[in-house]
Structure 1
Amino acid sequence: MSFRKRNTAITRSVNSDKAPTPSAASAPGVRTSPLTGNLTISTGCSSLDSLLAAHAGLVLGNSLLIEESGTTDYSGVLLKLFAAEGIVQQQHVHVVGVGEGWGRELPGLVEEKSSRQEDRESKSKGNVVTNADDKAAADRMKIAWRYERLGQHGESKRDTTLSRASLSQEPPSEQSLSEASAQSQSTFCHTFDLAKRLIPPSESFPIKHIPIPSPSKPSSTSFLLPILDTVSSSLLSSSPTVPHRLIIPTLLSPFSYPALASSPSHLIPFLHGLRALMRAHPNRLTVLLSLPLSLYPRTSGLVRLIETLCDGVLELQPFPHEVGAVDTGTGKGKDEEKPQGLLKVYKLPIFSERGGGAGRGVGEGGEDLAFVLSRRKFRIVLFDLPPVDGEEGQDGGAKDLEF
Structure 2
Amino acid sequence: MSFRKRGVVVPQSGSTNSSSPPPGSANKPTQTQAPPGTRPSPLDGRLTTSTGTRSLDSLLAGHSGLALGNSLLIEESGTTDFGGTLLKYYVAEGVVQKHVVHVLGVPEGWGRELPGLGLDDDDGRRKKKAADEDKMKIAWRYERLGEFGAGVGGARDRNVPQVTSATTSAPVFCHDFDLSKRLILPSPSNMHFVTLSVQPNLSFKDPDTSVSPFTKFIQHLAAQLSNTPPTTIHRVAIPSLLSPALYPSYASNPSHILQFLHGLRALLRKYPTQLTTLITIPLSLHPRTTGLTRWIELLSDGVLELAPFPASAVVIKPSGAATEHEEPPQGMLKIHRLPIFHEKGGGGGENSGSGDDMAFNLSRRKGMVIKPYSLPPVEADGEAQQGGLEGDDGKKATKVDLEF
1:199 corresponding residue in structure 2: 184
User: How many residues of Structure 1 are paired with residues of Structure 2 in the alignment?
Assistant: 342
- Give the drift of 1:20: 6.4
Indicate if the aligned counterparts of 1:94 and 1:207 stay in contact, CA closer than 8 A: yes
User: Could you tell me which residue of structure 2 aligns to residue 241 of structure 1?
Assistant: 231
Q: What is the distance in 2 between the residues matched to 1:181 and 1:160?
A: 19
How far apart, CA to CA, are the structure 1 residues paired with 2:26 and 2:58? 42
1:169 maps to amino acid? D
Q: Does 2:305 correspond to 1:320?
A: no
Q: Distance in 1 between matches of 2:269 and 2:51?
A: 20
| Displacement of 1:225 | 2.4
The within-5 A match list for 1:2-401 is 26-113=34-121, 162=148, 164=150, 165=153, 168-171=156-159, 184-200=169-185, 202-214=186-198, 217-219=208-210, 222-323=212-313, 325-327=315-317, 332-350=322-340, 359-363=349-353, 366-376=355-365, 377-388=367-378, 390-393=380-383
For residues 177-231 of structure 1, the C-alpha deviation after alignment (integer angstroms, 9 at most, x for no partner) is: 8xx789715111111111111123x424431101111286354x73412211101
Give 1:225's aligned amino acid: T
Q: Is the 8 A contact 2:197 2:212 kept in 1?
A: no
Return closer, same or farther for 1:380/1:168 CA change in 2, 3 Å cut-off.
same
- Normalised to the residue count of structure 1, the TM-score between the two structures is 0.75
1:104 partner letter: R
What is the rounded CA distance, in whole Å, between the counterparts of 1:300 and 1:20 in structure 2?
52
Counterpart AA for 1:212: L
Partners of 1:73 and 1:280 in 2: how far apart? Answer: 32
Equivalent residue number for residue 140 of structure 1: none
Question: What TM-score results when the alignment is normalised by the length of structure 2?
Answer: 0.75
Question: Hey, what's the Cα distance between the residues in 1 that align with 2:79 and 2:181?
Answer: 24
Look up the SS of the partner of 1:31 in the other structure. strand
The question of whether the paired residues in 2 share the 8 Å contact of 1:80 and 1:107 is answered with yes
Listed one character per residue, the Cα deviations across residues 244-302 of structure 1 (whole Å, up to 9, x for unaligned) are 00000000000000011111111111000100000000000000000000000011111
Instruction: Quote the RMSD (CA, aligned, Å).
Output: 3.6
CA distance in 2 between partners of 1:234 and 1:169 (Å): 50
* 2: CA distance, partners of 1:295 / 1:392: 45
Shift in Å at residue 398 of structure 1? 9.2
Q: Separation in 2 of the partners of 1:349 and 1:163?
A: 57
- Kept after mapping to 1: 8 A contact 2:331/2:359: yes
8 Å Cα contact 2:340/2:348 also seen in 1? no
Secondary structure in 1 aligned to 2:370?
strand
Distance across 2 between alignment mates of 1:356 and 1:182: 27
State, as a whole percentage, how many aligned pairs show the same letter.
47
Cα distance, 1:359 vs. partner? Answer: 3.8
Maintained 8 Å contact 2:318/2:377: no
- SS in structure 2 of the partner of residue 385 of structure 1: coil
